[in-house]
Amino acid sequence: MSETEVDLEAEMYEKHREAGDILAQVREETADRVEVGVSHLEIAEYAEDRIRELGGKPAFPVNISIDEEAAHATPSIDDESTFGEEMVNLDIGVHVDGWLADTAITVDLSGNPELAEASEQALEAALDVIEPGVDTGDIGAEIEDVIDGYGFNPVVNLTGHGLGHWEQHTSPNIPNRAVSQGTTLETGDVVAIEPFATDGGGKVTEGSSEEIFSLEREGSVRNRQAREALEQITGDFRTLPFATRWLETDRPEVALRRLKRNNIVHGYPVLKEDDGFLVSQKEHTIIVTEDGCEVTTQ
């Protein structure tokens, strides 16, 4: 590796760490503000604004998942939802020049602390076994064993994942259950470990709500609002996910419908367990080191 390549690699890891430092602070500050009666939109905007104040940028819209929701839920432009006695998952991402950190925490307002503890302890167990050469299937086995021990199920069709440059989800996938053929982690890998625990069956499906989108391909459109939206998307967000409420054009919903119809953007439907069940989540970003791992979002 040349001296220039070494310098670039060192800069990459420093930016991952910087993103993680910002994110750890924002996660704790945001979680402390989640209370019954507080607005979802207020919490999302607080976290996203705070990320910018601290020198980063949101890597994706703040996910606020309630009860059976597991991922891809974020407030709409005029959302009036408030927190009740519910299980609340906050999933927050930061990037610094496209280098990412990703974290999540459950704030339990529902009176089910053991479910929240199950995903938290599953994450701790996973972190304990990470080192160069470990198979991702073995990490999944640790997660599954802990969640099973609490009497719950892991969500098997959601996984942890690698983090790339301007890419929120890259290989390898980190399963939340034992698998026979995983991927071997190597020194320098940057991955998000993301256990989900549920008192449901352990498999989420797509709902009808969709507030998060990302660029599928570059293209051209005639509609003014769609053109304005696309210019902002390619300039500000690139390939990272964004929220409808982030778009500065008038009638952003119309713009997104046109862009989606032309296969220029794609949406992320909210992922949900069956009604009446709960999902908890805990996530950290780590860098695999020679003797274990460095947690950047601690």
Q: Annotated binding site, which residues?
A: 72, 91, 102, 161, 169, 194, 283
- Residues facing 153 on adjacent strands: 198
Binding-site residue ranges for a divalent metal cation: 91, 102, 161, 194, 283
Residue of 148, 169, 210, 294 marked catalytic: 169
Is 102 considered catalytic here?
A: yes
Describe the crossing of helices 3-32 and 40-53 by its angle, rounded to 10 degrees: 140
Quickly list H helices, 130-281.
Answer: 136-149, 224-232, 252-261
- Choice among 21, 108, 117, 194 that is catalytic: 194
Query: 113: which residues sit within 8 A by CB, 6+ positions away?
Result: none
Give the residue numbers of the binding site for substrate: 72, 169
CA distances from 65 to 37, 105, 114, 140, 271 (A): 16, 11, 18, 23, 9
Residue 203 is given by DSSP the state -
Alpha carbon distance 59, 239 (integer Å): 10
Catalytic member of 21, 142, 283, 284: 283
| H/E stretch holding 14 | helix 3-32
Q: Is 95 a catalytic residue?
A: no
Give the residue carrying structure tokens 């719950």. Answer: 152
Query: Does the active-site annotation cover 169?
Result: yes
Q: What b/e string do you get for 45-63 counting C-beta neighbours within 10 Å, with b at 16 or more?
A: ebbbebbeeeebbbbbbbb
Q: Which of 21, 161, 189, 284 is catalytic?
A: 161
Catalytic site includes residue 128: no
- CA dist list (Å): 84 to 67, 215, 281: 10, 34, 18
Structure tokens at 125: 């167990």
91, 108, 189, 199: the active-site residue: 91
Q: How far is CA 131 from the centre of its chain?
A: 23
Options 21, 68, 69, 102, the catalytic residue: 102
User: Mind telling me the catalytic residues?
Assistant: 91, 102, 161, 169, 194, 283
